[in-house]
Structure 1
Amino acid sequence: MSSYLLIVKSELPGAVAGFLSSDESGSWYLDGRLLLLITSVCIVFPLALLPKIGFLGYTSSLSFFFMVYFALVVMIKKWSIPCPLPLNSAMETLQVSNSTGDCKAKLFHLSKESVYAIPTMAFSFLCHTSVLPIYCELRSPSKSRMQNVTVTGIGLSFLIYFISALFGYLTFY
């Protein structure tokens, strides 16, 4: 939860500024700390007060559809962003490659930035704390029903994140 709120604090002001056409840098709605507080009080706190987690299925479905939308946008951008990426300067046109070499995908690439992917991958599979409450809220709790819920949930999440990662890499190298 802390990492999600840190993302809200650092990225939400930029997203709000992107939606607004005005150039007001000192506005209250562009302050990350205030947006973090509003998000925590208006969204996170009410969801945390729910007596059962069954209602969170609606918010999970909404976030899954947002992720599907994101994956579709990344897939569409794969064919609309040229490689190498042309940047127009006032004096000259520069050709900047999207990749480290020739706009071709590499099967495996290690760099010092690769280390940052490990905590993200490890964190993405920390859903074990939700298993018992989900099991308790099944209509007829059984091992096979819980197995179906688990395989469906993790399978759909893996598929949509894999598509996003694959086309994100193929778009921006």
Structure 2
Amino acid sequence: MEIVRPPALREEDPERLARPLGNDAQYLGQALSKPNMITTTENYQDGRLIGLHLDNWDKLIYGQKPRGRRRLALNLGPGTRYLVVGTLDAQAVCRAVHPEDYMYRYPSTEDYRKHVASGHPIRVYRIRLAPGEGYIAPTEYLLHDGSTEGQEHPSAAAFWLGHWSPGTLPSLI
């Protein structure tokens, strides 16, 4: 996972940012988050917040999960936002929840919920992203969500998927 500050993004062409990152860069769009939200990802079917979750764009089985595309997320502002990310990977959780047949499973958010419900803690970090900053992370492999908790201003974010090598964008850490 990387915390990055990409080149300045012009509002009229957000897809342009990912072009130098490689041919498989896919622009997913933008999301506006209200201020003071503990988590920001909405379930588009019912409008409720999902909370910490795994993405599943690539629909990968257990053994393939680490090979999923990474997500580039860029805070467009005007407010600060946070990345909330878990440290326990999807394969470890899947093995713990499904010890008999984990190799044939698709690790999911539900696996994390079962893992925590059975009394196992998961450590999470909250990482501050000022406007213009972002992250590149394996969001199909690590529990995550956005947050604007404690902020007075809304924050928009733009998202891309791709297979990017570490160091592709200027790193802040």
Name which one, 1 or 2, has greater alpha-carbon Rg: 1
TM surpasses 0.5: no
- Give 1 or 2: higher strand fraction: 2
TM-score by length of 2: 0.21
Q: Which has the higher contact order (CA 8 A, sep 6+)?
A: 2
- Give 1 or 2: higher helix fraction: 1
